[in-house]
Structure 1
Amino acid sequence: MAQIFKPSADTFARLVLAGSLLLLIGVVLLGPVAARSGYQSKVGWVVDQPVPFSHKHHVAGLGIDCRFCHATVESSAHAGFPSTHVCMTCHSQIWTGSPMLAPVRQSLASGKPLIWNRVSKLPDFVFFNHKIHINRGVACTRCHGRVDQMPLLTRAHPFEMRFCLDCHRDPAGRLGPTDQVTRMSSLPWDEATHRRFALAAARRYHLDPARLDKCDICHR
């Protein structure tokens, strides 16, 4: 009787089974790590922009307040992007011939707005209101990090559900004076002083962690 399979077929089948088992184990063990990796969370990744805008130069070097460019952050759910006219407030006087700023000049001449690419983008099913957070004393650095140290803007934190819940479950720990929300460096307070202020602010704004933990706060 003719032999259908070669003797090596048994060895090959065992190798395939062993490889499949190892692959399954690898997915189970490494899957959660990959899900929280920088590649997935986009933390530290630079996003291409029409103009390579340096927050480090403009914020730390020139002392420009966040609200100069993000003008609606105190009055709207969205912080807003700088319009061409905001950019040209300065650049009609300085660096007027810079090749780097050619897209800004072209935008002004054509009337076609610059399209900035969002770095701190949340999923479409998540609602976030900048106005509420800013007017409660949540500093910009809480979510965006030290942008004054970023030559090119990157995401500072993984905007995962637990990142938001950590804050909502202890809102008092994240509150500061509303007139200091755009401050980049830490407040000149010790931890106990900051905690007392934050707890008083949480009571004043009627912030209830039990309510802030509800799904419909962010998912509407």
Structure 2
Amino acid sequence: MPQIFSSRFVLFLKLAIVGMVLFLLGAVVLWRIVTSPLASVGAAIEQPVPFSHKHHVSDDGIDCRYCHTSVEKSSFAGIPSTEICMTCHSQLFTDAEVLAPVRASFRAKKPLRWKRVNDLPDFVYFNHSIHIHKGIGCVSCHGPVDEMPLTWRAKPLTMQWCLNCHRAPERFVRPREYVFDMNWKPKEEQLVLGKRLVEKYNIQSKTDCSTCHR
């Protein structure tokens, strides 16, 4: 039976198939890199209003809990409502163009669609209140938010990163009264203080899967 395709065409077809497979593998690898938690570390997230934590916290001295109202009693820290923003901005910078979306939201009674910067997958359970109750400071997970003109993710928030703390909480725990103090530094060696607080706050080194995956 005569050969239907020439050897050159067969070679070209094989190379095309190999090239397509390599292209698909490269696309998958690139997608995994781009969507990796590490890719978003340090990258400011575009928001409907360019909110500056540095201005509100460092310059004006506003406490985290004023805007994140449920952080001490709920699993979710809470995203400030437009009404909270307007508590101040009905009196301050009332004509600022940058705040036009806030005023429009307030008039229309439609919330601003803020984008979550530190967003965990749906299959991960995280509770803000228990971490605060056990003496884990905001800066441990969110970085120096008080110095961010625009907010970005400071930590990778991967499972391994979380486990590093869960396995040795004494390296991170602080007195509860300083949880919201972004500039707090221990007056003694952290491990000495941490071991004492771990016992005082009854902190358990929970690393089993059911702790976060429920």
TM-score tier after normalising by the smaller chain length: 0.7 to 0.9
Q: Tell me what 1:145 maps to.
A: 143
What secondary structure does 2:36 align onto? Answer: helix
Q: Tell me what 1:213 maps to.
A: 207
Alignment of 1:66-215 (within 5 A): 66-189=64-187, 193-209=189-205, 212-215=206-209
| 2:68–2:80 CA contact under 8 A, matched in 1 | yes
What is the rounded CA distance, in whole Å, between the counterparts of 2:10 and 2:111 in structure 1? 66
Change in Cα spacing, 1:139 to 1:2, as seen in structure 2 (3 Å) is same
Q: Tell me what 2:4 maps to.
A: 4
Q: State the one-letter code of the partner of 2:165.
A: C
Q: State the one-letter code of the partner of 1:68.
A: Y
Q: State the one-letter code of the partner of 2:203.
A: L
**How big is the alpha-carbon RMSD for the aligned residues of Structure 1 and Structure 2?**
2.6
Q: Tell me what 1:57 maps to.
A: 55
Per-residue deviation at 1:11?
4.0
Q: State the one-letter code of the partner of 1:50.
A: P
- Deviation track 1:115-158 (CA, whole Å, cap 9, x = no partner) reads 32211111111111111101111011111111122211111122
Q: Tell me what 2:41 maps to.
A: 43
What is the rounded CA distance, in whole Å, between the counterparts of 2:181 and 2:34 in structure 1? 27
Q: State the one-letter code of the partner of 1:143.
A: C
Q: State the one-letter code of the partner of 2:210.
A: D
| 2:135–2:174 CA contact under 8 A, matched in 1 | yes
What is the rounded CA distance, in whole Å, between the counterparts of 1:123 and 1:39 in structure 2? 12
What is the rounded CA distance, in whole Å, between the counterparts of 1:38 and 1:96 in structure 2? 39
Q: State the one-letter code of the partner of 1:87.
A: C
Deviates more, 1:91-100 or 1:109-118: 109-118
What is the TM-score when the length of structure 1 is the normalising length?
0.83
Change in Cα spacing, 1:25 to 1:50, as seen in structure 2 (3 Å) is closer
Aligned residues: 212
Change in Cα spacing, 1:3 to 1:100, as seen in structure 2 (3 Å) is same
Change in Cα spacing, 1:111 to 1:199, as seen in structure 2 (3 Å) is same
Per-residue deviation at 1:89?
1.9
| 1:38–1:44 CA contact under 8 A, matched in 2 | no
Per-residue deviation at 1:3?
4.8
Change in Cα spacing, 1:108 to 1:15, as seen in structure 2 (3 Å) is closer
Change in Cα spacing, 1:20 to 1:88, as seen in structure 2 (3 Å) is closer
Per-residue deviation at 1:17?
6.9
What is the rounded CA distance, in whole Å, between the counterparts of 1:17 and 1:113 in structure 2? 51
| 1:173–1:195 CA contact under 8 A, matched in 2 | yes
Per-residue deviation at 1:48?
2.8
| 1:169–1:213 CA contact under 8 A, matched in 2 | yes
| 1:69–1:82 CA contact under 8 A, matched in 2 | yes
Change in Cα spacing, 1:104 to 1:213, as seen in structure 2 (3 Å) is same
